[in-house]
Amino acid sequence: MKVTLGEYLKKNVNVPNILTTIRLIMTPVYLGYFSSGLKYHALVVFLIAALTDLLDGTIARYCHQITDLGKLLDPVADKLMVLAVLFSMAIGNSHIPAVVPWTVVCIVLGKELLMMLGGLVMLRRHVVVYSHFIGKLAHVLFVAGLTATFFHEWFVEKAQGGMPLDLVLLWTAVGCTLCALVFYVGDAFHKLSTAKDSANVDHTK
């Protein structure tokens, strides 16, 4: 069935999707501020993006404005911003020191690549794996940990030789995101197995 442009816009242009689009646009804005050495300007952009993430999900659920476009764009916007902040705080520049360990960046990037490839496989087989609480918790911890990295020197001073709180939060987030990966893989295999069994039953009828 052919959908007209007007019908598509009517279905997908709503407040949650507009907020998600704004969050996508804010990623290059964040990188622009960061590369210019405007550390706290970049932080404000990151925090506003995190706020739009909270708002668009809440509005979409309570106002029944969940759309296929939103389901696609929302996680993309989230991942782009988090990865942008991770990479920038791992690379640093002449004005802002690098504080995020590259091990954290590699683990997160590897997990996201696996999730993306797995998602494509699931999509081809018409299997949907929904987000889980632990994945959402990992995202919240990453936002908290990355926000704290902007005050890394203060946390190092307070840690008195121990691991600073910002890195504790980041490593906790890494642990949660790996647990989430295990859950998603297990759920995907279970759904694939169920779909295969259903297909075999249908075939034998």
One DSSP character per residue, 49-74 reads HHHHHHHHHHHHHHTT---HHHHHHH
Q: In the block, which residue shows the tokens 């782009």?
A: 80
Q: Specify the pLDDT at position 186.
A: 83
pLDDT in tens, 62-115: 766 667 666 677 778 888 999 999 999 999 998 999 999 999 999 999 988 888
Q: Measured between alpha carbons, how far is residue 128 from residues 22, 140, 185, 191 in Å?
A: 26, 23, 12, 8
pLDDT in tens, 112-156: 888 878 777 776 766 656 567 788 899 899 999 999 999 999 999
